[in-house]
Amino acid sequence: MKLFSSILFLLLFLANTASAEFTPVFDLDVYKSRYLMSYPACPDIDYNYCPVEPVFCQLNLDEYVEQMFEAHNFNPDIRTIRSYERDAIMVITSADSIGKRPYDVVRTDCGAHGLFHFQPPEGILQWAPWDVEDIIENAGDCAYFNQEWVEAVDHLLHLYPYGIGYQLLEWRERVSGAVSSARNAGWPRNRLSWALAITNSTGVGGFRQILREDPEETVRLYLEQRPGSHHRQRRIEALRRL
């Protein structure tokens, strides 16, 4: 369990026990039937403070992406977004790309979830501020069909404002190794977004297999892997427009 998750869990506990005059915000039992139901729109947040009482809510895609760039305000483990990370995220989530939504929990890969379709059974749950070890261990061969696992993921994705930062942390853990590899190959900074966007599809290992000194040669190999993929072609075209 990450240090910040432990701190957040303590804050949540204190917030829920500090007063008997309000209904606890962070009560999972209250939300047990919320899976696949609509969540309310997220409230406005004053970015000069870190709220002790998170809420369960949702944003549209544009709002979510914009607030991802503010996630460092709510978690000391998150560094400020780099320019190449911002560019890669904007391309990956762009409207003309195959859509992924911030709150997805889909059957693909037995439970791909979140904005970047993290892999079950751990995925974003590794950042949960409550104990989910048993849920992860008992997810089964296909977590998508385990209701307890799906509910836990759904809750964490909708935990505002912290869930946004957890998605960013998980995404960085999945793709950031490509940046050092691209730099070692001699790629300039303005092409590092290409490395991240490609790695979002291929994984770090897959990116390293096609990595060449010339970014354009790497792109060619990436497209040749799936020559009929309009999705990949649109992604590369968007990267070239940066």
Quick check: helix, strand or coil at residue 82? Answer: coil
- How far is residue 216's CA from residue 221's CA, in Å, rounded to a whole number? 9
- pLDDT one digit per residue (tens) for the chain, 242 residues: 444 444 454 444 333 433 333 333 444 444 443 345 579 999 887 765 566 678 899 999 999 999 999 999 888 899 999 999 999 999 998 855 555 789 999 999 999 999 999 999 999 999 999 999 999 999 999 999 999 999 999 999 999 999 999 999 999 999 999 999 999 999 999 999 999 999 999 999 999 999 999 999 999 999 999 998 888 999 999 999 88
| DSSP string across 156-189 | HHTEETHHHHHHHHHHHHHHTHHHHHHHHTT--G
Strand (E) positions, the chain?
Answer: 55-56, 159-160
pLDDT for residue 29: 46
Q: CA–CA separation, 47 vs 215, rounded Å?
A: 38
Taking the alpha carbons at both ends of the chain, their separation in whole angstroms is 37
CA 191/CA 196 separation, integer angstroms:
9
Determine the pLDDT at residue 54: 81
This prediction has a pTM of: 0.82
pLDDT of residue 37: 55
SS3 of 154, please? Answer: helix
**Angstrom distance (rounded) from CA 162 to CA 34:** 18
The length of the chain is 242
CA atoms within 13 A on the CB side of 81: 22
Whole-number pLDDT of residue 38: 75
Angle at 115 between CA 112 and CA 120, to 5 degrees: 25
pLDDT of res. 98: 54
